[in-house]
Every structure is written in C-alpha cells, then in structure tokens.
Amino acid sequence: MADYHFVYKDVEGASTQWDDIQRKLGNLPPKPPAFKPDPFEPAPDPDSAPKDKSWIDEKTEEELEDLEDDLDDDRFLEEYRKKRLAEMREAVKISKYGSVIPISGSDFVREVSQAPQDVWVVVILYKEGFPECGLLLRCLEELAVKYPATKFVKIISTDCIPNYPDRNLPTLLVYNNGAVKANYVGLHSFGRRCTPEGVALVLCQSDPVLNDGQSGSDPSRKAVLEDVQRRFIEKVVTEHENHDDNGSSSD
C-alpha cells in the first residue's frame, strides 16, 4: 500500500517553482542564502615570516640560543640576537635579588665569597633584639628594593665570626669578586641619622656598590654616586613640600 504521508524533500538550498510562487505571495519567508565556504587560506609558515628586530623580540631565551647557527649570513640580526640574550640574562640575574636574604654560616662562602664577579654583596652582621641592628636592617631592606642588582644578605654575627663582640653591632661588610672592599662598624658610621639615603651615600663613596640594574652591568662609581645623590635630593625636596602642605592646611 502506498505511503501518502511521504513528503518529498529537495536538495538542501534548492527551491521549487511552487516555493518561488509562494515567496512572491508572501506565504513563505525569504529563501536563505546558499552555503558558501570561506576561501581556503593555508596556515602561515613561521619560517617564511620576515626576519627583523620584532621577530627576534618574540623569541624566548632558549629559542635565541637555538638560532645561534641560523643567522650567520645576517650580521645585524646576529648582533641583535646576542644583545637580546644579554638583556634577558641580565634581567634574570637582577630578579634573583631585591630583598635582604638571610644566610647561615655554612652559606657564607657560596652566597658571598663565590658570588658572580660583577655583583656587589652587602653583608650585615646583626643580632635580634638590638634596636640599632633593626634600624640599619630597615634601611637595607629599602635599598635592596631600589637596587635589585646589588645583593644584600644578613647573618647572625656569631654565626659568621665566633665570639664577635656585640658592641660592634651592627657591622656592614662589602664584598666584590670574593674580597672585602669595605667594612663599617657600628651605626655611627652612617651619620647622626641613619637613613636609607645616608647609608647609600656612605656605601658608594669609594666603589659603585649599588646597582639598580638600569645603568648597565658595570656602572661607574661616579654614575652610581650621582644617582644616589639625585634620589637623596628628590626625597628631601618631597619631604619639604609635604611639610609645607601640612603647615598650610593647619593654618
């Protein structure tokens, strides 16, 4: 027996003459547009991309190292690759510091004497419960943030030097290339008022101890001292302006 309930379906997107008449009469909605796929575009080939400074900037340190033998024919890109690698390694070195690192006696040789040759290390010998030590530590903590390329460490005095006299606390030792470059015994070494700026000025009188990581890997003593003095003057001016503002508001 024939199935009279069967409905004939044309190819998707096709239209019969009857449908066209009904659409003209408004009995059917407009015919949807036929499906048209997007034009084919092959995926970009990374090797065919133009090689310039921006191409180098997008590379990681590992990728730049792998490119060492691939840029021999392009002297400019090879020099720029080396420059970017140096910048990345300097940034990694700087990120290691930025705070006053606690060490023990067994850590001293590794953390201080064997520090990289281009890194200045400031060591504070201290003990808990000594107000003078706490004051100098707070100054060093602020300097460690401002000068993250300089390594600051703290160690209990008698862990570093057995029987070290408490009357000498706090004591600062400055190391570079495995040797002691300066030492400061007692809080009076940093003037009547121990401030971060005053400590910075004392540390940089003879050597470029403080390095903010923005002045190159080996800044000169003069450049470092000028930077410290500039920061000191800026703070004095700011404090003076704040004092004037507070005085005006109270009138």
Q: Show pLDDT as tens, one digit a residue, over the chain (251 residues).
A: 555 544 444 555 555 777 777 777 777 787 777 777 778 776 765 555 556 556 556 666 566 566 555 555 556 566 666 776 776 666 665 556 889 999 999 999 999 999 988 899 999 999 999 999 999 999 999 999 988 889 999 999 999 999 999 999 999 999 999 999 999 999 999 988 899 988 998 998 878 888 877 655 555 556 666 666 666 565 554 555 555 555 555 55
Burial of 229 (0-12, 13-18, 19+ CB in 10 A): middle
Q: What's residue 7's pLDDT?
A: 44
Residue 38 amino acid letter: D
Burial of 45 (0-12, 13-18, 19+ CB in 10 A): exposed
Q: Give the ranges where 34-189 is alpha helix by DSSP (H).
A: 53-57, 61-66, 75-95, 108, 131-146, 157-160
Inter-CA distances, 82 with 10, 75, 108, Å: 66, 11, 33
- For the chain, what are the domain ranges? 101-238
Q: What's residue 233's pLDDT?
A: 60
Inter-CA distances, 195 with 10, 71, 190, 217, Å: 89, 51, 8, 26
Question: Both tokens of residue 250?
Answer: 């109270």
Class of CATH domain 101-238: alpha beta
Question: Both tokens of residue 202?
Answer: 């004392």
- Strand partners of residue 173: 123, 183
Q: What's residue 241's pLDDT?
A: 53
